Structure 1
Amino acid sequence: MADQDLYPIAVLIDELKHDDVALRLAAIRRISTIALALGAERTRDELIPFLDESIDDEDEVLLALAEELGGFVDFVGGPVFGHLLLAPLETLAAVEETVVRDKAVDSAAKIGAVLSQRQIEDFYIPMVNRLSKGDWFTSRTSACGLYAPVYHLASAKTQDDLRALFATLCKDETPMVRRAAATNLAKLVKKLTKPHVVGEIYPLFSALAQDEQDSVRLLTVEGLIAIAEILTPEETKSMLLTILRSMCVDKSWRVRYMIAEKFVAVAKAVGGDIVKEELIHAFVQVLKDNEAEVRTAASTQAPGFSAMIDKETVLRDIMPCIRDLVADSSQHVRAALATEISGLSPILGKEHTIEHLLPLFLTLLKDEASEVRLNIISKLDKVNTVIGIDLLSQSLLPAIVELAEDKQWRVRLAIIENIPLLASQLGVKFFDEKLGPLCMAWLGDCVYSIREAAVANLRKLTEVFGYEWAKGSIIPKVLEMGKHSNYLYRMTTIFAVTTLAHAVNGEVLKDLIVPTITHLASDPIPNIRFNVAKSMEQLVPLLKKAGLAGLLNDPLKPALLKLSEDGDMDVRYFAQHALTALAA
């Protein structure tokens, strides 16, 4: 490679040593470019040693380096040289900043997955050993995440050593290390044989599940699930049931929160007998927990857990709790429940949904918190599939219409976004009678985002009902807005007809949309005129596609030529831009 080719690389290397953090960060983001220019051999001999020797002390730069090295195997010559990247990653895995260590562990694991068994034995395992026995807890914490990725690739003797070393980390005197061990225990369990899980890992799990630190105990829920998936139902009862019971009533709400959040996964792992004998009562407990965070997590699990038990039990034990949660003092609990409660409809069936769930839906639709109302609206399609649109509309439509005028614009936006779904289920006649006026009213909303969504809504409705319906039901009303004295209404007309142009046929384009846009080209408001020019630019390919290229020369081109000489600079700019598109 010529000297002049190497000069930019030298500049980038200098940037890695620069005092300016932004420059060093930019250089790190370009090290793949440097490596590509250097070639694999020089990358191995020069760049990697340089990076290893000059590990920066700025966390942002270190994080970027840890991330880049994870995808660097090809730049050093492929997997056969991949082990060379472990040295800088080992250093990064021992730094103080957690996010840097986590990213270094991720990258090292990614590299380990492509190494040969020889490389793993000679380079990866020694790295794990050094980190696991490091003086600082940071390195031991990182080591916990490096066992599972390569365990299955190691020899039987090395696997024995790895399990023994991991056991020491599970018993480490530093809580942060035990937390890391508890976090990674489930991943390691999935790589082990059942005898090793029962004989070696279970005692470690049991000790961690009873750790004095709640921050350790809460991380053992995943481990419980992983172990339960390996054991038989009888073994699960004898080995895990006591621990599971204690988790559900743990003195720390954070542990109860974790078990509540993973309740369905736990139930699937432990099997049907334990679900019937133990977990129904336990689930009722977490639904009634005195901490709002626990009730919130439990609410998200209600449909999934209810699907695992019989309908009568759901009605007898679960539904009373759901009724209480609908009136919960915490907005977060009600919001979580509103997202999930519709999932109970397929489980309960039509009759029980009408009797037990519909009143709760109505209560949530009238909730004082906009987030709760929004969440229940966005999931109504599940209810519709169970009880049918007639009953749904009779029961809920008045509330939906009320929400369409909600003072919170995000709630109005949620209604608009669900209108096409409701429309397809309600049918044209019902829509025109009940929801059509609302859709037009939104076009005049005081919030721009609502007007924008209302315009997009018209296009979706046209795609649902067809352009013949649009031609008769909505386009005339939109065109009427183009004559309004308020310029915002005329502006909305431009946006609406431009959007609708993508969903209608050539006849509607020719007879309704092009004349409207051309007429507004002479509007007294400059903002209207330059949006007309932008609209005409969008119409050009649509008219060509529809076989209406003649309309480009008359009336579009004369209108654009006039606008290109407008007194307003913005109008002239967009008109000239549109003329360029027309000429092309």
Structure 2
Amino acid sequence: MAGADSDDSLYPIAVLIDELRNEDVQLRLNSIKKLSTIALALGVERTRTELLPFLTDTIYDEDEVLLALAEQLGNFTMLVGGPEYVHCLLPPLESLATVEETVVRDKAVESLRKISHEHSPVDLEVHFEPLVKPLVMPTLRQAAEDKSWRVRYMVADKFSDLQKAVGPEITKNDLVPAFQNLLKDCEAEVRAAAANKVKEFCENLPEDSRETIIMTHILPCVKELVSDTNQHVKSALASVIMGLSTILGKDNTIEHLLPLFLAQLKDECPEVRLNIISNLDCVNEVIGIRQLSQSLLPAIVELAEDAKWRVRLAIIEYMPLLAGQLGVEFFDEKLNSLCMAWLVDHVYAIREAATCNLMKLVEKFGAEWAQNTIVPKVLGMANDPNYLHRMTTLFCINALSEVCGQEITTKHMLPVVFKMSNDQVANVRFNVAKSLQKIGPVLDSNCLQTEVKPVLEKLASDQDIDVKYFAQEAISVLSLA
């Protein structure tokens, strides 16, 4: 041993063999750490023909030794003769990449990645790819069925990357059943991660068999997930399921996907409904607005008129998004009356949300649309026998003045506010004062002085204490005193 240490050029491979078979783990570990020195002494040819075959065929059961070996081999390219011979390092690293201990496998994979960059394109195809493909799958199958849900979760989360790496044949034969199992996993976190990859997985399937695989293997699992017990799973699915329509085409969408979309639109979880409504434009592109209105719109209308006010509230919140996707013509024909009906809902929170909804719609469709479509209907409510509805008119004017601008506010909305200052109900009159304070900044100074000020002064002498208070506050805020 002393001779070997003093002159590495004379270091015989037999001595290395003895050391690596020694019972002393530390001695074996030290020998592995000297591998580069030993290889240098042996020369590139003997390293390729003697050292590497020995390392490949010899099995070590100590993880520490295997880990050191996996790390060493990642730096062996020049010691085997450079990039031309780097493929000689693949057999020992392949063995290390299949051992039971995770840290050893990870280090072997790290070294394989490192030397992959040193292969020529031809060597990658001839030597590297045939090694990787059979090496991915047993490990992948194990990981997809691992006892730890976190391991299965990571497989699901990286499934699209795996799919691209292994290619179409392995995808069809091995990944499809693995993906099915992940979609049916007993842990909700795993199902959610897999559900989130449904569209991407289907997009990357081989084109010649894509539709068959989806309809036969993936869609049955998707149908089960639509009614999953976990809302995160349903929400993850709802965020991507609409994208399947562009993959499967019009007929399959109408027959197989629309019933699922309808079910999700009625889901008790608001996020599920939002994710469906957020992606309606995907379906619109495939089946057209007419089919969409016949299929999905009734479900939206049904939700909009639901007996539970919180359900109605959720749909109102989605309406600007829906309107933006479906366009102004469709909205005017199918949804406008719905939005106006919410303004006279018996629940205040709905009326308030409906008012905010109008403002957002005007932001999407413009002031001219508002003047022709929304404003006349809103102002018409000023004559409603129910004073609550008359007050809603004022709330709408407050919101709309911001987005409609000075001309529409002055010409169309302000006269109605003035008229309502004579309302018999004190609550309406003091809301007139609050409205004038709110829309005052939109008006020009001449209008404020000649028209607004006299009305507020009149309200400031009202018999009702609240009307007086809010009128005086408006005069003060608008600097009309």
Mark the CA change 1:282 to 1:513 in structure 2 (over 3 Å): closer, same or farther. Answer: same
Match of 1:287 in 2: 183
| Structure 2 CA distance for aligned equivalents of residues 557 and 423 of structure 1 | 39
1:335-391 deviations in Å (ceiling 9; x for gaps): 432232112122223333223211221233344655544442333222112222122
Q: 1:45-444 counterparts in 2 under 5 A?
A: 209=102, 233-268=129-164, 274-309=170-205, 310=207, 311-312=210-211, 313-367=213-267, 372-424=272-324, 426=326, 428=328, 430-444=330-344
1:296-316 deviations in Å (ceiling 9; x for gaps): 332111011111113323233
2:382–2:393 CA contact under 8 A, matched in 1: yes
Match of 1:540 in 2: 440
Mark the CA change 1:553 to 1:247 in structure 2 (over 3 Å): closer, same or farther. Answer: same
Q: Secondary structure at the match of 2:239?
A: helix
| Structure 2 CA distance for aligned equivalents of residues 319 and 289 of structure 1 | 16
Match of 2:86 in 1: none
Match of 1:55 in 2: none
1:247–1:256 CA contact under 8 A, matched in 2: yes
| Structure 2 CA distance for aligned equivalents of residues 345 and 480 of structure 1 | 43
1:326–1:337 CA contact under 8 A, matched in 2: yes
1:264–1:301 CA contact under 8 A, matched in 2: yes
TM-score by length of 1: 0.56
Select the residue among 354, 357, 360 that pairs with 1:460. 360
Match of 1:36 in 2: none
| Structure 2 CA distance for aligned equivalents of residues 351 and 444 of structure 1 | 40
2:303–2:312 CA contact under 8 A, matched in 1: yes
Mark the CA change 1:314 to 1:515 in structure 2 (over 3 Å): closer, same or farther. Answer: same
1:444-494 deviations in Å (ceiling 9; x for gaps): 234444323322222333344444443343323212323334443233211
Q: Which amino acid aligns with 1:287?
A: L
Q: Which amino acid aligns with 2:137?
A: L
| Structure 2 CA distance for aligned equivalents of residues 551 and 576 of structure 1 | 18
Larger of the two Rg values belongs to structure:
2
Structure 1 unmatched runs, 5+:
1-170, 173-188, 212-216
- Residue 480 in 1 paired to residue 377 in 2? no
TM-score by length of 2: 0.66
1:377–1:415 CA contact under 8 A, matched in 2: no
| Structure 2 CA distance for aligned equivalents of residues 571 and 226 of structure 1 | 78
| Structure 2 CA distance for aligned equivalents of residues 323 and 363 of structure 1 | 10
Match of 2:41 in 1: none
- Residue 504 in 1 paired to residue 404 in 2? yes
Q: Secondary structure at the match of 1:280?
A: helix
1:112-142 deviations in Å (ceiling 9; x for gaps): xxxxxxxxxxxxxxxxxxxxxxxxxxxxxxx
Mark the CA change 1:225 to 1:466 in structure 2 (over 3 Å): closer, same or farther. Answer: farther
Distance apart, 1:404 and its partner CA: 0.9
2:459–2:468 CA contact under 8 A, matched in 1: yes
| Structure 2 CA distance for aligned equivalents of residues 325 and 420 of structure 1 | 28
Q: Secondary structure at the match of 1:359?
A: helix
Q: Which amino acid aligns with 1:539?
A: I
| Structure 1 CA distance for aligned equivalents of residues 346 and 112 of structure 2 | 56
Greater relative contact order (Cα < 8 A, sep 6+) = 2
| Structure 1 CA distance for aligned equivalents of residues 461 and 451 of structure 2 | 16
Mark the CA change 1:425 to 1:335 in structure 2 (over 3 Å): closer, same or farther. Answer: closer
2:433–2:470 CA contact under 8 A, matched in 1: no
1:9-49 deviations in Å (ceiling 9; x for gaps): xxxxxxxxxxxxxxxxxxxxxxxxxxxxxxxxxxxxxxxxx
Distance apart, 1:551 and its partner CA: 1.7
| Structure 1 CA distance for aligned equivalents of residues 478 and 241 of structure 2 | 51
| Structure 2 CA distance for aligned equivalents of residues 539 and 551 of structure 1 | 12
Match of 1:17 in 2: none
Distance apart, 1:578 and its partner CA: 5.1
Select the residue among 372, 390, 394 that pairs with 1:494. 394
Q: Which amino acid aligns with 1:504?
A: C
| Structure 1 CA distance for aligned equivalents of residues 341 and 201 of structure 2 | 42
Distance apart, 1:526 and its partner CA: 5.5
2:304–2:312 CA contact under 8 A, matched in 1: yes
Q: Which amino acid aligns with 1:278?
A: D
Mark the CA change 1:270 to 1:492 in structure 2 (over 3 Å): closer, same or farther. Answer: farther
Mark the CA change 1:233 to 1:503 in structure 2 (over 3 Å): closer, same or farther. Answer: farther
* Identity over aligned pairs, percent: 49
What's the C-alpha RMSD, in Å, of the aligned pairs?
A: 4.1
| Structure 1 CA distance for aligned equivalents of residues 147 and 476 of structure 2 | 72
1:537–1:582 CA contact under 8 A, matched in 2: no
Q: Which amino acid aligns with 1:285?
A: N
| Structure 1 CA distance for aligned equivalents of residues 76 and 468 of structure 2 | 74
| Structure 2 CA distance for aligned equivalents of residues 399 and 316 of structure 1 | 28
Distance apart, 1:279 and its partner CA: 1.6
| Structure 1 CA distance for aligned equivalents of residues 112 and 455 of structure 2 | 74
| Structure 2 CA distance for aligned equivalents of residues 398 and 405 of structure 1 | 11
Q: Secondary structure at the match of 1:361?
A: helix
Match of 1:133 in 2: none
Distance apart, 1:402 and its partner CA: 0.6
The aligned length equals: 383
1:536–1:556 CA contact under 8 A, matched in 2: yes
Select the residue among 556, 565, 576 that pairs with 2:473. 576
Distance apart, 1:393 and its partner CA: 1.0
Match of 1:555 in 2: 451
| Structure 2 CA distance for aligned equivalents of residues 572 and 559 of structure 1 | 14
